[in-house]
């Protein structure tokens, strides 16, 4: 366990080391939030009704800001790690070491998003302590759901990253994944603005769970029963993705040549 | 740099497309995906209103399509040179370029073309032609539109090149690459949705909003002539600055290869 802790700590240190990089990344993530804020604000200015779907202006703007902030925690950058190692043949060094590759990868990922995750969880805890949530049980459900989302998201990344064994370059997959995330996570608009039948299917996809559902749960939008269903959905996705990762990784290793491409 | 060298570099790029077929197909898919997302979001926005600050649904689609044409044309011509610069500076790979008896600025900017982007450009041109055909535009408007799209492509290149050249002076600054990307993403929206101070910043100080909005304003018949003149002057001066910065960067460059 200690070695994984050191790996995570190492990543945290790197974040602290390159403050300029981290600062610029922070600024560049902030800008789209304003864009969505202004576009929705002007939609409300141009309509005669008070509400769009179930949302009044304040609810919508809060939702847009929060859902865009989740991008700090649920980032796809880590997806390239395996690809770089396969491409340069450096995976061999890791395979020889007495550690779990998935464990090492999780420690790296956790270290990488440690600060945004800390802020995210602290904000939820602060809201819980100050009585924002409708009941203590609901507060606990949100905390459990968010932590499970974080783990499930790691499995999404891990599974997709195994295409590195078959593809020479992972970056197009990274970009596609960002696109799919934008479409299905509710970053452009809340997913319940979609026709009901589409919404009922789309809301259970992994990206909706980490984006739209997470933020709506923070906004007290769901009942206990709904929260339970979402928690079960996250766990099921986690299990499915972990199994898929295991199979894809094994198949990939058979293709891996052990030297730089 | 002469045409023969460029032709060879284009031939190399085509070979690369054929070798890395899967990657090339994926590049096309993600281009289409982002375009569809933007159009789809526009449909959702305009399902609640006919008009956002004077922008109709078709104005909005025209803006998104123009942004797509500009972005993928930039990718086609310049993106490989720009995206590889940071690592090439750190790894000392610029030696091979400096040694060549060619203009290093142009060689580096144009050394590889991203051919898969052509599909997205063609799609954008088809959609935009269709949108334009529904309006009664003069030939001058269409010519001005095309000219402004070309200037827009060049502007994005200058902006990206400026950012990656920071690597000559500052190590580990990859995150800067996000700035032009974010800036252009935000410019794919009607300029009027932003508060005045953002409009001043992105139309008069760094005219990113102008670069995407201006071609569509020409089609809508709502040009701000002063802003257009300023934009052209800005891009001209910016070109000279970037060119000089490249050579200042090369003097700073220390080979570690």
Question: In chain A, what residues touch B48 (CB-CB under 8 Å)?
Answer: 43, 47, 52
Output the pLDDT for position B244.
Answer: 92
Question: In chain A, what residues touch B39 (CB-CB under 8 Å)?
Answer: none
Output the pLDDT for position A103.
Answer: 80
Strands B51-52 and B55-56: antiparallel
8 A C-beta contact, residue B132 and residue B66: no
| CB within 8 Å: A179 and B23 | no
Which is higher by pLDDT, A254 or A243? A243
Interatomic CA distance for residues B142 and A111, integer angstroms: 52
Q: Which of A28, A31, A182 sits opposite B175 (nearest CB)?
A: A28
| Cβ atoms within 10 Å, residue A184 | 20
A-B C-beta contacts closer than 8 Å: 100
Interatomic CA distance for residues B231 and B226, integer angstroms: 9
Output the pLDDT for position B243.
Answer: 92
Q: Which of B34, B175, B183 sits opposite A21 (nearest CB)?
A: B175
Cα–Cα–Cα angle for B153, B137, B135, nearest 5°?
Answer: 100
Contacts for A122-127 with beta carbons within 8 Å, 24 or more apart? A124/A218, A127/A218
The reply to whether B196 touches chain A by the CB within 8 Å rule is: no
Give, in order, the Cα–Cα distances in Å from B195 to each of A14, A41, A42, B67, B76.
37, 11, 11, 21, 33
Residue B178: closest C-alpha in chain A: A28
Q: Which of A25, A173, A182 sits opposite B37 (nearest CB)?
A: A182
Output the pLDDT for position A83.
Answer: 75
| CB within 8 Å: A173 and B53 | no
The reply to whether B119 touches chain A by the CB within 8 Å rule is: no
Cα–Cα–Cα angle for A215, A241, A219, nearest 5°?
Answer: 10
Q: Which of A27, A32, A47 sits opposite B186 (nearest CB)?
A: A32
The reply to whether B189 touches chain A by the CB within 8 Å rule is: yes
Which is higher by pLDDT, A226 or A95? A226
| CB within 8 Å: B30 and A188 | no
Which sign does the torsion angle of CA A8, A245, A211, A85 carry? Answer: positive
Output the pLDDT for position B174.
Answer: 67
Question: What is the pLDDT averaged over residues A21-44?
Answer: 81
Q: First-to-last CA distance in chain B? A: 25
| CB within 8 Å: A188 and B22 | no
Which site among B83, B177, B178 would you substitute to test the A interface, given the most A Cβ atoms closer than 10 Å to its Cβ? B178
Question: In chain A, what residues touch B33 (CB-CB under 8 Å)?
Answer: 176, 179-180, 183
Residue A32: closest C-alpha in chain B: B186
> Residue written as tokens 């064994």?
A165
**Each residue of A98-126: pLDDT tens digit?**
778 788 788 888 888 888 888 888 888 98
- Report chain A residues touching chain B, CB-CB < 8 A: 18, 20-25, 27-29, 31-32, 34-35, 38-39, 41-43, 45-47, 52, 166-169, 172-173, 175-176, 179-180, 182-183, 188-189, 193-194
The reply to whether B90 touches chain A by the CB within 8 Å rule is: no
**Each residue of A197-216: pLDDT tens digit?**
999 999 999 999 999 999 99
| CB within 8 Å: B185 and A35 | yes
**Each residue of B111-156: pLDDT tens digit?**
888 888 899 999 999 999 999 998 888 999 999 999 999 999 999 9
**By percentage, how much of chain A surpasses pLDDT 70?**
98
The reply to whether B169 touches chain A by the CB within 8 Å rule is: no
pTM higher than the cut 0.90 = no
| CB within 8 Å: B37 and A168 | no
Question: What is the pLDDT averaged over residues B91-97?
Answer: 77
Question: In chain A, what residues touch B193 (CB-CB under 8 Å)?
Answer: 38-39, 41-42
pLDDT over 80 (residue A183): yes
């Amino acid at each position: 366990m200690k070695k994984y802790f050191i790996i995570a700590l190492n990543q945290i240190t790197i974040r602290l080391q390159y403050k300029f990089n981290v600062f610029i990344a922070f600024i560049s993530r902030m800008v789209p939030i304003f864009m969505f804020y202004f576009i929705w604000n002007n939609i409300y200015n141009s309509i005669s009704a008070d509400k769009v779907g179930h949302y009044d202006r304040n609810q919508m703007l809060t939702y847009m800001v929060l859902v865009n902030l989740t991008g700090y925690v649920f980032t796809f950058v880590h997806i390239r790690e395996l690809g770089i190692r396969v491409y340069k043949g450096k995976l061999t060094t890791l395979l020889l070491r007495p550690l779990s590759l998935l464990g090492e990868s999780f420690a790296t990922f956790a270290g990488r998003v440690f600060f945004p995750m800390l802020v995210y969880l602290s904000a939820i805890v602060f809201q819980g302590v100050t009585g924002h949530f409708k009941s203590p049980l609901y507060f606990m459900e949100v905390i459990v759901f968010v932590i499970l989302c974080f783990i499930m998201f790691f499995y999404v990344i891990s599974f997709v990253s195994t295409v590195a064994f078959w593809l020479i370059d992972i970056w197009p997959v990274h970009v596609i994944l960002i696109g799919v995330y934008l479409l299905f996570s509710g970053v452009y608009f809340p997913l319940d603005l979609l026709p009901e039948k589409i919404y009922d299917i789309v809301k259970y996809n992994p990206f909706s769970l980490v984006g739209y559902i997470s933020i709506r749960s923070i906004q007290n939008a769901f009942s206990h029963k709904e929260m339970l269903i979402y928690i079960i959905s996250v766990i099921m996705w986690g299990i499915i993705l972990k199994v898929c990762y295991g199979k894809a990784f094994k198949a990939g290793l058979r293709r891996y040549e052990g030297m730089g491409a | 740099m002469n045409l023969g060298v460029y032709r060879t570099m284009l031939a190399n790029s085509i070979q690369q497309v054929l070798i890395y077929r899967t990657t090339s197909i994926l590049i096309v898919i993600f281009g289409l995906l982002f375009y569809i997302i933007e159009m789809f979001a526009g449909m959702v926005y305009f399902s609640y209103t006919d008009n956002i600050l004077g922008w109709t649904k078709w104005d909005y689609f025209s803006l998104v399509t123009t942004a797509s044409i500009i972005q993928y044309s930039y990718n086609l011509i310049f993106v490989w040179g720009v995206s590889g610069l940071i690592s090439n500076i750190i790894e000392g790979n610029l030696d091979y370029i400096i040694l060549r008896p060619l203009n290093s600025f142009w060689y580096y900017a144009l050394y590889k073309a991203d051919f898969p982007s052509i599909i997205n450009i063609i799609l954008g041109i088809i959609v935009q032609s269709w949108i334009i055909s529904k309006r009664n535009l003069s030939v001058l408007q269409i010519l001005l539109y095309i000219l402004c799209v070309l200037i827009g492509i060049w502007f994005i290149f200058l902006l990206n090149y400026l950012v990656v050249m920071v690597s000559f002076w500052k190590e580990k600054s990859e995150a800067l690459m996000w700035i032009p990307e974010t800036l252009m993403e935000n410019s794919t929206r009607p300029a009027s949705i932003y508060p005045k101070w953002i409009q001043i910043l992105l139309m008069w100080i760094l005219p990113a909003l102008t670069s995407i909005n201006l071609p569509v304003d020409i089609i809508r018949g709502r040009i701000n002539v002063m802003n257009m003149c300023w934009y052209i002057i800005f891009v001209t001066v910016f070109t000279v600055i970037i060119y000089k910065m490249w050579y200042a960067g090369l003097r700073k460059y220390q080979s570690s290869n």
